[in-house]
A and B are shown apart, each in its own frame.
Chain A
Amino acid sequence: MRKRIGGGALALVLMATAGSVEAGSWDERVFTHHVDFDAVAAAGSAALPGLIARGRELFQAKFTTADGAGRPKATQAIIPTKRKFGVNPAFSRLSGPDSDSCSGCHNQPVLGGSGDTVSNAFVSEGFESPEFDSTDPSFSSERHTTALMGAGLVELLAREMTADLHAERDAAVAQARASGKDVEADLVTKGVRFGSLKAHADGIVDLDAVDGVDADLIVRPFSRKGVFTSLRQFTINALNAHHGMEASERFGVRWTGSHDFGESGVPDAVRPGDVSALVAFQATLPPPTVKQNLPEDWRIAAAEGEKHFDELGCASCHRATLPLKSLIFTDPAPYDTAGTLRAGEVRKGIVIDLSKFPFAAQLKRNAKGEWLIPLYSDLKRHFVVDAEVADLGNELQAQRFVERDVFLTPRLWGVGSTAPYGHRGDFRMLNEIIAAHGGDARFARDAYLGLTKDERDTVIAFLRSLVIEAP
């Protein structure tokens, strides 16, 4: 997969922009051509290098007004929403559109990574008050840029976890109906417990005891709050919110009656194949690694710190690894809903076998042959605030049904390369973010603070060894 992309592979995935006027080679547009989803899917693995390369280009591209950037008459909302009045400014640091390219934020230490605090985003639902010029959390929730390294593996984990949870629910419902009695079922997948449910004989399911996952039992592994199901959904949302680039599968004529919902002057600005290119690029980003060739003192301290990390209980949420059965990444994804391309909307999907990528060779496997993904997360949401420890409780808005003091367990792989820390990057040092853990994580945080200074330093040494390195 590392070989240079030949002209033939690129040509395979590109199709001319409908109705475009031939321009010179100095054309400023990003979308002089669109990716042909069907051609890519039909071509199979032969088209993947070109698709990923195009995805990399799009990830770095600065979208222009001629590409449709800006959504002048629409908001950043995930459901197509018109502005009530006025026109969006071309750029608004707070309410968006707030960046020209994906890589404007996702760039540290490498393309697709995290970002400096200066690139924090201010997310709002975009419905009633889409425009705001204040960082006050009454209006938006501030977000530090998350790194996308290993995102394909993360999505695959979430898909398998969702399938497990749905199977457990369905089994409980079937058993309750058959027996005529209530059936309680633990919701456990990959060793992570998501509470329990109670199925009644009439088919009603009591979900009050479900924990850390949405009521539809779909594990949403992306965003700080865990509200995006797939890279595809995340990509479509982000293209609109941050760049004002509207994907036709969400903002197109099927769901809005218009080919140019945001009135940018460019119909169907982002086509399904273009989204797939961005998805393929992100899905194949290599996962973070453990820093090699550490100085001897760091190596010893990190080994000691890893033990403490386990003993303190940090690993109860920051699971060192989660097992993954398959590395076959399919696009479209199985649990997306209307507005994000679904498998039933294409004749054939794009298949990316992540086991063919060099990073797969670095992944360990368990006795069952499952791949052990070292993400240091349980992909579950937790309360991280309590009455005494509330530094992370700085939000005033729930986000897509997720209460304000609840966050997805951050993946710590690469944490040594993604300072500052916390959902909005409030903490410059690892010790500070650990000390800010309250709520469900309070016991581990207290145990950590109960260590000696030297012992705490070893935990930092361990975390600092989890890095994102240039491929």
Chain B
Amino acid sequence: MLRWSLGALALLGLAATAAADPVALNSDVPVMLEEAAAAGINQTYDGGWEHFVGGGGAAFDCDGSGFPSVFLAGGKNPAKLYVNKSKRGGPLKFVEKPIAIDPKLLTHVIGAYPFDIDGDGRMDLFVLRVGENLLLKGGPNCTFTLANKEWNFGGDEGWTTSFAAGWEKGQKFPTLAIGHYVDRFAPGSPYGTCEENSLYRPQPGDAPDYSVRTPLTPGYCALSMLFTDWNRSGAPSLRVSNDRQYYRGGEEQLWRIEPGKPPHLYTRAEGWRHVTIFGMGIAAGDLDGSGFPDYALTSMGDTKIQKLDRDESERGEFPVYRDIAGQMNATAHIPYAGGDKRPSTGWHSEFADFNNDGLLDLFIAKGNVAQMPDFAAFDPNNLLLQQWNGKFAEAGDKAGIAEKAPSRGALIDDFNLDGNLDLLVMHRTAPASLFRNLGASDGHGGVIPTGNWIEIRLAEPAPNRDAVGAHIAVKIGVRTLMRTISVGGGDASGHMGWVHFGLGTAERAEIRVQWPDGEWSYPYRAFANQFVVVDRTKPQAEYWYPGR
């Protein structure tokens, strides 16, 4: 039979109907093969109360190979660096590489985000910890040195559970936003004792200098932060998702961060609406090509999908959002498999195109905090595949990612550079999972190729070499697919490197970049199924090929 036959289609349709899923699953379902052990990944996030949250990691190219390596938090266990040794299209392969810093600093790690802080062309890491946070300066061949002292960073001690970074206009180095959880030592802790958050703007000079802290008060137990240009003003604001479990009088927050001005919290008068959730992870993505980002906010129970209300917001004047998760079938509020009907607990969330059909899908990591009886014990991760009607259909179980282990952070990246996005999921108290995306299910136990794809890397002169804050628009036919290069969001997990787009049946794509300073590039033409480097200093987009 044809590997993806009409018969298989009918079967899929019937299966969806039989499961009473209100949205039929018509799209390709990726086949995700778990191979962490075989790939050499062995990391468990564990620990006491402080490590009920967190559990993230970072994916980034640390050796110039183009393949993303990973840094994984361990909680009470030491964080580990795994260098990617995979071959293109092959099984995943990683080799652990020791990090030459004080081993004590590698414990009580919550998560990490990769970005090039000092503009030297090598990825650095911000490491979130319980205690002193770390700035690790990247060196050659996946080596790191502790740069807190060199960059005048005091570590911003606390229980750090979220982080975001971005380049403000006119700044040579990035601004860092650090989100804290509960002040464990405050009277009455933990309830009502959320610690305030911090903003570090780089001080003038030729090297990063984070000696000056600006408080972001009030803090409401921030579990996820993201610099996001929600209204395309050119000055990204700081979105903070907060855990209502511990705050009193708190809510979700949006800070206006304008160059040279103190941070300003958006108010009711400015359109910001009172939303209280157990905010765990922010994902940003332009679901419908509107040009404005939509946000998925995980929580205990409903996931929110917040969309800018174009009318109420006066087309971006005011940050007025409405929740469209229900109409998109993306609330993911209870487990879709296993029979436990208690509410879910969502952590990392991220939009990505797992089946290369040109539609953004939504991954949500799920997992009970720690035997909380009112919430589902078996709480499989979601893979919500966007359908052509704009709604999402659940495919986590069919894809093979419905795990028992309680999940936390995640890294969605193309670890073997075959054009299909793979998935690393961190679990609390259990080894991390690593899923290789083999392609699409043919409905008969086999695998067929997914849609076309393109992966893009931006480059511009230092300091912001990776163009953090840039928007990439990929035009295929009448549709424009948007991505933004950002540092932050999710559950203490981030990646930097190739930006992946599924292209569906498009054989060609036109790429335009809005660079961080707001300037739009001219269109670059590129063919599908290629790695493309858009270097701001060069007239043509360049193709890149892996060396193994």
| A residues apposed to B, CB below 8 Å | 18, 37-38, 77-81, 127-128, 169-170, 173-174, 177, 199, 202-208, 214-216, 218, 248, 250, 253-259, 268, 271-272, 337-339, 342, 344-347, 400-401
| B residues apposed to A, CB below 8 Å | 1-4, 6, 9, 26-28, 64, 66, 356-357, 387-389, 439, 442, 446, 448-452, 476-478, 503-508, 525-530, 533, 540, 542-547
Contact B527 A253 (CB under 8 A): no
- Option from A18, A204, A268, A338 in Cβ contact (under 8 Å) with B533: A204
| A77 and B26 contact, Cβ closer than 8 Å, known pairs A257-B388, A400-B508 | no
How many Å lie between the Cα of A128 and that of B64 in the bound state?
A: 41
Find chain A residues with CB under 8 A from B446 CB: 347
- Given contacts A127-B478, A257-B26, 6 further A-B pairs with CB under 8 A are A214-B527, A215-B543, A253-B26, A257-B387, A271-B6, A337-B452
Contact B530 A216 (CB under 8 A): yes
Find chain A residues with CB under 8 A from B66 CB: 203
> Which 7 residue pairs across A and B have the least CB separation, nearest first?
A339-B505, A257-B388, A79-B477, A216-B527, A177-B547, A338-B451, A344-B449
How many Å lie between the Cα of A271 and that of B5 in the bound state?
A: 10
Contact A255 B477 (CB under 8 A): no
- Option from B6, B27, B529 in Cβ contact (under 8 Å) with A337: B529
How many Å lie between the Cα of A202 and that of B533 in the bound state?
A: 11
Give B535's nearest chain A residue, CB to CB: A204
Give B502's nearest chain A residue, CB to CB: A338
Give B476's nearest chain A residue, CB to CB: A79
How many Å lie between the Cα of A218 and that of B528 in the bound state?
A: 12
How many Å lie between the Cα of A112 and that of B2 in the bound state?
A: 28
How many Å lie between the Cα of A182 and that of B27 in the bound state?
A: 43
Contact A127 B6 (CB under 8 A): no
Contact A81 B544 (CB under 8 A): no
Contact A203 B545 (CB under 8 A): yes
Contact A174 B451 (CB under 8 A): no
- Option from A77, A205, A214, A216 in Cβ contact (under 8 Å) with B544: A205
Give B387's nearest chain A residue, CB to CB: A257
CB distance from A233 to the nearest CB of B (A): 8
CB distance from B94 to the nearest CB of A (A): 20
Contact B3 A81 (CB under 8 A): no
How many Å lie between the Cα of A390 and that of B153 in the bound state?
A: 66
- Option from B357, B476, B542 in Cβ contact (under 8 Å) with A207: B542
| A215 and B527 contact, Cβ closer than 8 Å, known pairs A127-B478, A203-B545, A254-B4 | yes
Contact A255 B544 (CB under 8 A): no
Interface SS majority for chain A: loop
Find chain A residues with CB under 8 A from B530 CB: 216
Contact B449 A128 (CB under 8 A): no
Contact A202 B64 (CB under 8 A): yes
Find chain B residues with CB under 8 A from A128 CB: 478
How many Å lie between the Cα of A80 and that of B356 in the bound state?
A: 15
| A342 and B388 contact, Cβ closer than 8 Å, known pairs A128-B478, A253-B26, A255-B505 | no
CB distance from A74 to the nearest CB of B (A): 12
Contact A337 B507 (CB under 8 A): yes
Contact B3 A344 (CB under 8 A): yes
Contact A173 B505 (CB under 8 A): no
- Option from A81, A170, A345 in Cβ contact (under 8 Å) with B545: A170
Contact B544 A254 (CB under 8 A): no
Residue of B26, B27, B505, B529 contacting most chain A CB atoms (<10 Å): B505
Contact B2 A173 (CB under 8 A): no
Find chain A residues with CB under 8 A from B2 CB: 37-38, 272, 345-347
Residue of B27, B452, B478, B506 contacting most chain A CB atoms (<10 Å): B478
How many Å lie between the Cα of A303 and that of B151 in the bound state?
A: 81
Find chain B residues with CB under 8 A from A170 CB: 545
Can you name 18 A-B residue pairings with CB atoms under 8 Å?
A: A18-B6, A79-B476, A128-B478, A203-B547, A204-B544, A205-B545, A206-B542, A207-B543, A216-B529, A254-B9, A256-B388, A271-B6, A337-B452, A338-B504, A342-B449, A344-B448, A344-B449, A345-B449
Find chain B residues with CB under 8 A from A338 CB: 356, 449-452, 503-505, 528
- Option from B4, B439, B477, B543 in Cβ contact (under 8 Å) with A81: B477
Find chain A residues with CB under 8 A from B450 CB: 338
Find chain A residues with CB under 8 A from B3 CB: 344-347
Contact A339 B544 (CB under 8 A): no
Contact A215 B388 (CB under 8 A): no
Give A216's nearest chain B residue, CB to CB: B527
Give B531's nearest chain A residue, CB to CB: A203
| A401 and B508 contact, Cβ closer than 8 Å, known pairs A81-B477, A81-B478, A205-B545 | yes
Contact A38 B356 (CB under 8 A): no
CB distance from A219 to the nearest CB of B (A): 13
Give B12's nearest chain A residue, CB to CB: A253
Give B388's nearest chain A residue, CB to CB: A257
How many Å lie between the Cα of A386 and that of B361 in the bound state?
A: 49
Find chain A residues with CB under 8 A from B546 CB: 203
| A79 and B506 contact, Cβ closer than 8 Å, known pairs A337-B452, A342-B449 | yes
Find chain B residues with CB under 8 A from A256 CB: 388
CB distance from A217 to the nearest CB of B (A): 9
CB distance from A176 to the nearest CB of B (A): 9
Find chain B residues with CB under 8 A from A259 CB: 9
Find chain A residues with CB under 8 A from B543 CB: 204-205, 207, 215-216
Find chain B residues with CB under 8 A from A401 CB: 508, 525
Give A79's nearest chain B residue, CB to CB: B477
Contact B477 A254 (CB under 8 A): no
CB distance from A349 to the nearest CB of B (A): 11
Give A236's nearest chain B residue, CB to CB: B505
How many Å lie between the Cα of A214 and that of B542 in the bound state?
A: 13
CB distance from B154 to the nearest CB of A (A): 36
| A344 and B27 contact, Cβ closer than 8 Å, known pairs A214-B527, A338-B504 | no
Find chain B residues with CB under 8 A from A253 CB: 9, 26
CB distance from B529 to the nearest CB of A (A): 6
CB distance from B97 to the nearest CB of A (A): 21
Find chain B residues with CB under 8 A from A248 CB: 6
CB distance from A206 to the nearest CB of B (A): 7
How many Å lie between the Cα of A254 and that of B12 in the bound state?
A: 11
How many Å lie between the Cα of A37 and that of B1 in the bound state?
A: 8
How many Å lie between the Cα of A38 and that of B444 in the bound state?
A: 15
CB distance from A166 to the nearest CB of B (A): 10
How many Å lie between the Cα of A202 and that of B546 in the bound state?
A: 9
Residue of B442, B508, B526 contacting most chain A CB atoms (<10 Å): B508
Give B477's nearest chain A residue, CB to CB: A79
Contact B387 A345 (CB under 8 A): no
CB distance from B443 to the nearest CB of A (A): 11
How many Å lie between the Cα of A339 and that of B504 in the bound state?
A: 8
Find chain B residues with CB under 8 A from A206 CB: 542
How many Å lie between the Cα of A80 and that of B526 in the bound state?
A: 19
Find chain B residues with CB under 8 A from A199 CB: 545
Contact B388 A258 (CB under 8 A): yes
How many Å lie between the Cα of A340 and that of B307 in the bound state?
A: 35
Find chain A residues with CB under 8 A from B448 CB: 344-345
Find chain B residues with CB under 8 A from A78 CB: 505, 507
How many Å lie between the Cα of A338 and that of B449 in the bound state?
A: 8
Residue of A128, A271, A337 contacting most chain B CB atoms (<10 Å): A337
| A215 and B6 contact, Cβ closer than 8 Å, known pairs A203-B66, A337-B507, A400-B508 | no
How many Å lie between the Cα of A170 and that of B545 in the bound state?
A: 8
Find chain A residues with CB under 8 A from B356 CB: 338
How many Å lie between the Cα of A81 and that of B506 in the bound state?
A: 11
Find chain A residues with CB under 8 A from B505 CB: 78-80, 250, 255, 337-339
How many Å lie between the Cα of A39 and that of B26 in the bound state?
A: 25
Give B386's nearest chain A residue, CB to CB: A257
Find chain A residues with CB under 8 A from B507 CB: 78, 337, 339
Find chain A residues with CB under 8 A from B504 CB: 79, 255, 338-339
How many Å lie between the Cα of A258 and that of B3 in the bound state?
A: 19
| A347 and B439 contact, Cβ closer than 8 Å, known pairs A257-B26, A339-B504 | no
How many Å lie between the Cα of A339 and that of B505 in the bound state?
A: 5
| A254 and B28 contact, Cβ closer than 8 Å, known pairs A170-B545, A203-B66, A268-B6 | yes
Give B547's nearest chain A residue, CB to CB: A177
Residue of B3, B27, B357 contacting most chain A CB atoms (<10 Å): B3
